[in-house]
Chains A and B, each alone.
Chain A
């Protein structure tokens, strides 16, 4: 891929990732966030987090299926960090707008309400991944350890989807879409490994860690 093309695609990715936030800010400024603004903000940031996590998780299986798309690895860190960014906004909505920065209310919520326990778990699992996203961290940890640590993203995504199910009213089925997609993406990994082994030919060297 040409350098100029890469810069263009990266710019477009940045814009796409910032669009949900821009939509919220614009809605707040023009009084267009609906009747229950807090709910609109919470839902939009949570939904964007899950979508970005799923897109980031799709990169590895897509690369393995279509080697021509190997360059997608250059976008995984960006998507992962944006997922963490929206997860943090989502968390701050709860901290600021639901609990009013009250530590007792937060502690009570985390202990008593299982959907908040699950959501908090998902964010805490993403935190070390965001913290070790620099090239320096990858070198310091070594590729193998870094990869091992970053498998936490699977658990974070599962916790995020459970958080969604536990939050909606019983009988409401809206989280079904992200659940099916996540299941497919997680199942794709062992399936692709198995297929590769069966074919038996030497795997093309495709580093999972982006080159510095």
Chain B
């Protein structure tokens, strides 16, 4: 069973944080020792490579409750890797760029505008969103379309709770998410890519209402680090990572399938649905296997699961669809 019964205590209190702290200390010790050696050898560049990476620590502890929808039996990816191995092209195209550059993202004050085909269009302040429902600890696998994966302890509540507040009309068939974009804060988005911003993603209404779809405010029990999509993002664990839009400022309920960033960029490589599917290869690589981040190279490789292992919760939504055509 991939998703088990709720643990008795919140997952953030079990071990990961302390285990992670030890892990970091060991790593930092090794890096420190290595740096001393490198300096002794006169290798400035080597020392630079080995020095501890920058940390983003402007986080606040969140009060959380446990959730029956958390994934059990997986080793968590370390906070270090979750915060230093990111795709967030507005802040640069290299994996370590967002950790360096996302500090400038102004996460307070922040509001999320909800518009389109809803009975109650409204703008929520981030603090109001945080208080709307109890925040739950939810561990999910995260599978990137680039064939790597992580296991991340998110904090949030089902997106359906927010949807209910807005009372979508019968004509609302899809919801579109738009991310924050400001050229002055994120110059890398236009200097390093040809993508037209802001980042846009979308879900069909039943996908958006699925209880697994998480309106996410934190990870490892704290508020989201900027590079992971602060202050609020969506997490859709059975789809490739790019479907989970970060730093959301607007949600639009619409009657037609919305234009989404990567689908516009390369429609043959990134479909609108982009459900994790080991049987549909990316044109340039196989999706049958994935590399688990943070493990030694001889333990990284593992089989990719249909719907990233969440088929029991989501497969019925796609009954009758040809997932090779609608990939």
Listed in ascending order, the chain A residues whose CB lies under 8 Å from chain B are: 28, 30-39, 41, 97-98, 100, 105, 108-109, 112-113, 115, 170-172
Contact = CB atoms under 8 A, between A and B. Distances in A.
Contact of B286 (A36, A38, A105, A170): A105
A97 B285 contact: no
Interface stretch (B9-17, B158-166, B219-227, B289-297): B289-297
A38 B81 contact: no
Contacts of A33: 297
B289 A35 contact: no
B173 interface: no
Contacts of B300: 36-38, 97
B50 interface: yes
B293 A36 contact: yes
A105 B288 contact: yes
B30 interface: yes
Contacts of A109: 286
Band of interface residues on B: 20 to 34
Interface in B266-299: 266, 281, 284-286, 288-289, 291, 293-298
B301 interface: yes
- Nearest first, the 6 closest Cβ-Cβ pairs linking A and B are A37-B297, A35-B85, A35-B81, A35-B293, A38-B297, A30-B30
Contacts of B285: 113
A98 to B, nearest CB: 7
A91 B143 CA distance: 25
Nearest to A166: B284
A115 B285 CA distance: 10
Given A37-B300, A105-B286, A31 B148 contact: no
A202 B131 CA distance: 89
Nearest to B30: A30
A37 B291 CA distance: 9
12 contacts: A31-B30, A31-B296, A36-B300, A37-B296, A38-B297, A38-B300, A39-B148, A39-B291, A41-B297, A97-B300, A98-B289, A170-B266
Contacts of B113: none
A171 B95 contact: no
A20 to B, nearest CB: 13
Nearest to B50: A32
B288 A38 contact: no
A38 B291 contact: yes
A108 B289 CA distance: 14
B30 A35 contact: no
A30 B33 CA distance: 11
Contacts of B288: 105
Nearest to B150: A35
Interface string B193-208: 1100000000000000
Contacts of B289: 98, 100
Nearest to B295: A37
A32 B34 contact: yes
Contacts of A112: 281
B27 interface: yes
B243 interface: no
B138 interface: no
Contact of B193 (A39, A105, A171): A171
A127 B286 CA distance: 27
Contacts of B84: 35
B301 A97 contact: yes
B31 interface: yes
A28 B30 CA distance: 12
A30 B193 contact: no
Contacts of A170: 266
A97 B284 contact: no
Contacts of B95: 35-36
B191 to A, nearest CB: 13
Contacts of B81: 35
B225 to A, nearest CB: 15
Interface in B227-272: 266
A31 B27 contact: yes
Nearest to B49: A32
